[in-house]
Every structure is written in C-alpha cells, then in structure tokens.
Amino acid sequence: MNTHSESFELKARLELALSASEKARSLILKYYQSPDLKVDRKSDDSPVTIADRGAEELLREEIIRAFPEDSILGEELPPVEGTNEFKWILDPIDGTKPFTQGVPLFGTLMGLEENGKLVLGVCRFPALDEVVYAIKGSGAWWKIRDLEPRQAKVSEKSQLSESVFCTTTMTRWEKIGKQKAYEDLCRNSYLARGWGDCYGHMLVATGRADVMVDPVLSPWDAAALVPILEEAGGHWIDFDGNPSIYTGNGMAVNAALKDEVLRIISQ
C-alpha cells in the first residue's frame, strides 16, 4: 500500500470511529445514572451491563457495514476474523465500575491495528462529551463539546516531585507484588490521585497529569491509548518499557519522566 492510499485508509477509519463512538455515546447515556440499571457479573467477577453489550454490538455493526473485511476483537463478544491487514480492538465502556456508580470518568475505546501495529486510537467520554483521537503521523487531538479540536500534548515536567501520578486501584499493585513501587510513586509525586481507567491515560495525553499506571489490564483497555500517547509526544509502554498491549500491564507517561518511572516500577 502506498503512502497516499494508506493515509486515505486510516482517515476513512478515523471518521468511522468518531461517528460510531458518538452513536455509542447516545446509547450509553440512555442507561447512565439510571436507577433501573442491572449489573451482571462475568466469570472474572468484573461487572457488565446492557450498555456495555449494546454499545459493542453497535460499534461492530458500524465497522462491518463500512469495512466488512476488517477483523474485530472486543471485550464483550466473540472475535471476528477478517481478510485484510486491519483489526479493530474495542472496549465499549472502559471503566464499567465508575459507570455503574454514576461517575462520569468512563470511556469508549476504539483502537486499530494494521499488520499488528497500532495506528489509530479514539477515546470518547460519553458523560463528559469529550473525545481524544489520533492516527499515526497526524498528531493527537482533543475535542470538548462543540469547541474546535485542539492538539493534545503531554506535559514537559521532568521531576516526579512536580508531577501528577494516577492509577486505577491500589489492590492491583498488591496482586502483582508491586506495593512498594506504588508507595514510592505516591510518596515522590506532587499529587497522587485515583483518576483511573482510560480517563487517567487521557489526562496524561492532554497534559493534565504526567504519569498513569495500570498494573493489570487487557488488550482492549490499551489498544486505543498507544497511538494517542505517541502522537501526543509521550509513551504508552508496559513495565518492560515496550509499547505492547499484550503483557497485562501498562502506563502512560511523558517523555521526560519515562526512565525514572520505569526504574521505580522495576524495583
């Protein structure tokens, strides 16, 4: 595929992802803060709702209608094997626990692999009416409500003592034997907060936080994040410093703090 054709292919899929995630937003908000919302438990005891399942069904339908040859991997439904080099990786509601608690810090994630490399990411926050998105080589962008998109950039803070550190939940650090690393990051940061899930990662991408670490996650939690963080001038990496979504952990961090945070994590 030549560069012009490749650019067209990615831009067309970005338009699809922005449109489909906006449609999913409307579906999700029908259930958000509803007193009648029923919460089920999956085999791993994580919560799932009709909004999760319905949003993923909608996203899949939109993808299949526009790009029937693309593969799809999602959190809630079986994978779809396509016939070309593109694979969508979907999380209809990243942060189902905040969603079920009526807290607005949850997002819809759509990542795209091309020949195994992540090249596109969209992270939409239905209750906040914000979206952050990127395709490789075109920068990362942050759109709030009806305002014009602004370029998303990570911070330039180089000292952890001046930085905001986020994570999703403390108990996951204990499960993987990294309690000391968690305590060191909390102790040495200017501010430590539990602004978790994809919201914490997008705080880093937009320069509002500097480090966000998830000690336990799945590929669909991370696929959309990699291109966004990279295009915003930062990094999305696992605990070994690699941009992999398949090793079960990961972090968003600006360029200046990456080595220090990795050193703390590796203890």
CA distances, 125 to each of 25, 92, 263 (Å): 8, 11, 32
Residue 240 among known ligand-binding residues: no
Asked whether the beta carbons of 251 and 166 are under 8 A apart, the reply is no
Structure tokens at 16: 């699809």
Nearest-angstrom CA–CA distance, 24 and 238 = 29
Residue 22, strand partner residues: none
Residue 22 marked ligand-binding: no
Is 210 one of the annotated binding-site residues? no
Q: What backbone phi and psi angles, to 5 degrees, belong to 102?
A: 80, 20
**Is 146 marked as a binding-site residue?**
no
Is 228 annotated in a binding site? The answer is: no
User: For tokens 């999602």, what's the residue?
Assistant: 74
The Cα 185–Cα 245 span in angstroms is 22
What is the rounded CA–CA span in Å between residue 164 and residue 67?
40
Alpha-carbon gap, residue 208 to 37, rounded angstroms: 32
Helix (H, G, I), strand (E, B) or coil at 77: coil
- Which residue ranges are tagged as binding site? 75, 91, 93-94, 221
- Which residue ranges are tagged as binding site for Mg(2+)? 75, 91, 93-94, 221
